[in-house]
Amino acid sequence: MTSEESSNNCAGCAARADLDILAAARSIAAGGDQRVTLPTEPTGGSTERPIQLGFCGNMANNAYNFVKALRRLGHSAELVVEDGYLDAFIMNRPFWEDVEVECDDYEQAATFEKEWRQPHFVRRVEYDQELQARFQHRQSAIPEVQKLYRETFGLELPTDRALVLAQSMGHWPSLVALSRYDVIQLSGSAISLGPFCPKPYVVFPTGSDLFVSPFQETLFGLLMRAGYRGAAHVLICETNYPAYLDRLAMTCPRSFAPMMIDTVTYAPGDSQQVRQQWRERSGGERFLYSVCRQAWQWKGNDRLLRAFAEFTSNGNSDWRLVLQQWGPDVERSQQLIGELGLENRVLYETLCSKPVLRRRQQAADVVADQFVMEGYGTSVLESMAASKPVLMRPVDDIAAQNFRWRPPFLGATTVEEITHVLQTTLHDDALRSAGEESLRWLQEHHGYESVSQIYLDAMVGATRGTEKIAA
């Protein structure tokens, strides 16, 4: 056999091995929650010992904030953070929630992590590159993985799952860490750990982990799909999520669980220092703060710029627009600002961590978010918690049925609608009233004391049927 023939033969073997792995992953993704559940009746009431709640997948620090809020209510909750992979993105790092950072890029931001003091309820584990390299791409790894799984968790692992887990053994430290809890909430890429999770779990998607990932025909996409289908419960925080879950042929229970906001940390406050800085930099007196990244296709930043130009060309010269200087369309926005003659009426703020963002939200008269995508993110809710009116795409009639009363956004989608809202709403009495209504609605529908029971019921139900934990 020539060297070329040998090389081709090796390539063919590798290709067949990859197909075997994908076939195994596809069979797992086609399944569902196959755990044996005995026909015992729930005992009701609280558990004999505090249930141990684990959270993994710290998307935008949501899980970190959930854990802090639940612990404040007296529950035993911890966060597992995977360094080097699942939680590597800067905005998924817990320090981003606690340490004051203003920076030009993510690399500079990372240098501030050393200032963070890790709470005892956060467990950091490393993605294990050595384990990943040792096990992946080997059929012979199957019995090794099965033996390790049995010895560690006391559970048998089917052959197809062992083959696929061998391709993901870098996450083994995370799986071991999660085994200490009674039930786990998975979000983001961590949903892909679901097929191997040794404990019952619920899924809490927050965006592309539902819109995109589980529909990809890759190993990761198939594991995400399997993670959803193997969940004991899915918590839905956005009104447009059910359509995607229906496409995944979900059979487990699902509950509408409004994003839980820590209303102790996110609250009205005095931010006169930031406001004075804005005055000195711009010469303005009133400030419209856009909290979202510059991404025209998703956020409609260009619509806001055109509407603001129309608004300030008809008087209203004391208003300034404050933008975030991050996102793929920063240069496009800067070019449009020049074309509209807004150079002296627009301020750019650098990338910042959440403590700095909170002060900016508190300093604004009005907060603006997205005008294209349906739904809203945590920045909107955190702005409402600061008692600020929010200008953004309105919630439709069907979505509004999930709430006791409609979200009090200053609703607009088109340039003309945004302009109309700016011209008719931005005066003191209306803004004060709208801000107060924002805060009331937020506390009622997203405050942690109001919605935490939904999360607890789903997590406890994953382990004990319909049993609930005492509030």
The verdict on 295 and 192 lying in the same domain is no
Q: What is the pLDDT of residue 36?
A: 53
Structure-token pair, residue 64: 């970190």
Phi, psi torsion values for 393, nearest 5 degrees: -60, 130
Give the max Cα distance, the chain: 86
The verdict on 220 and 91 lying in the same domain is yes
The verdict on 299 and 440 lying in the same domain is yes
Q: What is the pLDDT of residue 470?
A: 38
Residue 34 lies in a domain: no
Tell me the residue type at 161: R
pLDDT per residue as tens digits for the range 313-369: 998 999 999 999 989 999 999 999 999 999 999 999 999 999 999 999 999 999 999
Instruction: Check pLDDT > 70 for residue 33.
Output: no
Q: What is the pLDDT of residue 42?
A: 46
Residue 9 lies in a domain: no
With cut-offs at 50, 70 and 90, classify the pLDDT of residue 401: confident
The verdict on 228 and 367 lying in the same domain is no
How far apart, in whole angstroms, are the C-alpha atoms of residue 51 and residue 468? 11
The DSSP letter of residue 195 is: G
Residue 33 lies in a domain: no
Structure-token pair, residue 334: 């800067």
Q: What is the mean pLDDT of residues 366-381?
A: 92
Instruction: Check pLDDT > 90 for residue 277.
Output: yes
CATH number at residue 385: 3.40.50.2000
Q: What is the reported pTM? A: 0.90
Residue 38 lies in a domain: no
Residue 68 lies in a domain: yes
Structure-token pair, residue 429: 């009495």
- 8 A C-beta contact, residue 229 and residue 245: no
The verdict on 163 and 182 lying in the same domain is yes
Count CB atoms within 10 A of the CB of residue 444: 14
CB-based contacts of 178: which residues, under 8 Å, 6+ apart? 54, 56, 80, 184, 193, 197, 198, 199
Residue 124 lies in a domain: yes
Token pair 């937020």 is found at 442
Structure-token pair, residue 408: 């009090």
The verdict on 292 and 395 lying in the same domain is yes
Residue 266 lies in a domain: no
Tally of structural domains, the chain: 2
The verdict on 239 and 379 lying in the same domain is no
Give the residue numbers spanning the domain of 183.
14-28+46-260+450-464
The verdict on 373 and 337 lying in the same domain is yes
The verdict on 191 and 331 lying in the same domain is no
The verdict on 295 and 217 lying in the same domain is no
Q: How many residues does the chain have?
A: 471
Name the residue with higher pLDDT: 22 or 200.
200
The verdict on 185 and 288 lying in the same domain is no
The DSSP letter of residue 198 is: S
Residue 335 lies in a domain: yes
CATH number at residue 166: 3.40.50
The verdict on 194 and 225 lying in the same domain is yes
